[in-house]
Chains A and B, each alone.
Chain A
Amino acid sequence: MKTFDYARADSPEAAVAAADEETRFIAGGTNLLDLMKLQVMTPAKLVDISRLDLNRIEDMDEGGLRIGALVANSDLAADTRVRSRYAVLSRALLAGASGQLRNKASTGGNLLQRTRCYYFYDTASRCNKREPGSGCDAREGFNRIHAVLGTSEQCIATHPGDMPVAMRALDVVIVTLKKDGDRRRIPIADFYRLPGDTPQIETVLYPGELITHVELPPAPRGRQIYRKVRDRASYAFALVSVAGIASVEDGRIASAALAFGGLAHMPWRDPAVEAALIGQPPSTEAFNAAADALLTGARGFGHNDFKLPLARRTLIAVLRDLTGDAS
């Protein structure tokens, strides 16, 4: 780990004021320190935001919840309102990491979790995300965990998170404080970026911009499911995950929101998937059509080719559970 300046902030305003281009905010630190130990990340300054008053979950007037950026994953998963109204979010959180990590990982930090690409983690490998312009060792290398959607010549890394996938299905809004004191409300649909030519830039956040809250809209109609497929029964990253919310009325799918983990550089959501479902009676044909829509343009890189059939099968099973008779 390279050494750094350390400052503890006592307000969000002070935190952004203290931040510069070389600064990282540290809250739980579970991902940041992991990467700093390996010198994958080498911030010159850490601003400790862990004591800020951003650790509450509040009811919003229109029926949603405002989650402070410092709310720990475990607290968010266990919140009774989240459990009863946003089950997909609780389930996604509980499927992630371990009890210890969930106690430390924060809501804001988890949105910014970085990829588990082996070559990103190894400073002796080429990686355009870690070192822009150096190349990508994953494309021709061991890419079993890598992306099949939205990839670029420069990067085939995945976003490793679970919580953000559920949040993508729930259409959360990310509230930030910029260095200039302005606040932004960024829909999660606009928050993440595909790798393109700049895989090192993963979100639309400006340097020094601080996530202060995440707003959950009023609870959606219908059933909610989070299904995660992985190599161990627990404590492993998703190979494929599906966050699904759907309702059926009069024998037809009335609403659907589907987001995917393990497939892309960001929590993936494609309106075409939902369009293939809405208005249709639940059926294997409709589910396959949704999977076709999802996988249009998908491509594997060898070791990860299995993610295509796996995503299809998992999506179909999730859709069956979402639209099947209540059991």
Chain B
Amino acid sequence: MQFTINGQVHEADVDIRTSLLDLAREHLGLTGSKKGCDHGQCGACTMIVNGRRINSCLTLAVMHQDDDIVTIEGLGGPDALNPLQRAFVTHDAFQCGYCTPGQICSATAMIEEARMGWPSHVSERLDGDVILDNDEISERMSGNICRCAAYPNIVDAIREVAEAGA
């Protein structure tokens, strides 16, 4: 099977049952995406596939051979952090760091969803522009559990980047 991850083409011969997450972690050395629950209940595995954030644990690798897959490794290395990664550091938006790559991938795509005008559960109106205030960010990021509970800092980090890019 052939996969395009972070713009690079990877070949792998894996069991048909292999999840996209296990493909990355166990076969391609891309361990930035984390396994917290393996059932779509924590968000630590979040990748961006064709521009959309998804739980990579709940999808088969074999179904993504023609897709454009982005993992945390594709967003920025330790010496070349992107603005959101930097904001996570300056706002201390993590502690143990295990949910963090998923949070950042999720937030990256979430900001795009808001730019497209997608409403959320807490949006007062279903039409009009989306302003990413604290409540909107919290709701939209609720698919990423952080047991260390850096939530207030995660919200601050994302809001700063969303506002800067608005």
Contact = CB atoms under 8 A, between A and B. Distances in A.
Interface of A: 1, 3-4, 6, 8, 26, 28-30, 33-34, 37, 46, 48, 50, 72, 74, 77-78, 80, 83-84, 87, 90-91, 94-95, 97-101, 103-104, 232-235
Contact of B143 (A29, A95, A235): A235
B62 A78 contact: no
A103 B52 contact: yes
- Interface hub of A6, A83, A99 (most chain B Cβ within 10 A): A99
B6 to A, nearest CB: 19
Contact of B19 (A3, A33, A72): A33
Interface in B107-150: 109-110, 113, 116-121, 123, 126-127, 138-145
B143 A100 contact: yes
A100 B126 contact: no
A276 B142 CA distance: 38
A30 B63 contact: no
Given A97-B143, A98-B142, A101-B143, A3 B119 contact: no
A100 B121 contact: no
B47 to A, nearest CB: 9
Q: How large is the interface on B (under 10, 10 to 19, 20 to 34, 35 or more residues)?
A: 35 or more
Contacts of A34: 39-40, 58
B38 interface: yes
B118 to A, nearest CB: 4
A72 B118 CA distance: 13
Contact of B118 (A29, A77, A95): A77
A37 B126 contact: no
Given A1-B17, A78-B116, A90-B126, 6 more contacts: A3-B15, A33-B59, A80-B127, A98-B40, A99-B140, A103-B52
B105 to A, nearest CB: 9
Given A6-B62, A103-B54, A77 B119 contact: yes
Given A30-B58, A95-B121, A84 B127 contact: yes
Contacts of A77: 118-119
B100 interface: no
Given A33-B58, A77-B118, A90-B119, A100 B46 contact: yes
A29 B62 contact: no
B40 A234 contact: no
A122 B123 CA distance: 37
Interface in B38-60: 38-40, 43, 46, 52-55, 58-60
A253 to B, nearest CB: 24
Nearest to B102: A100
B16 interface: yes
A49 B166 CA distance: 37
B44 to A, nearest CB: 11
Nearest to A1: B17
Contacts of B118: 74, 77-78
B103 to A, nearest CB: 11
B27 to A, nearest CB: 17
Contacts of B59: 28-30, 33, 104
27 contacts: A3-B15, A4-B17, A26-B63, A28-B59, A29-B60, A30-B40, A46-B60, A48-B62, A74-B113, A74-B118, A78-B116, A84-B126, A90-B119, A94-B119, A94-B123, A97-B143, A98-B143, A98-B144, A99-B53, A100-B40, A100-B54, A100-B55, A100-B143, A101-B58, A103-B53, A104-B55, A104-B59
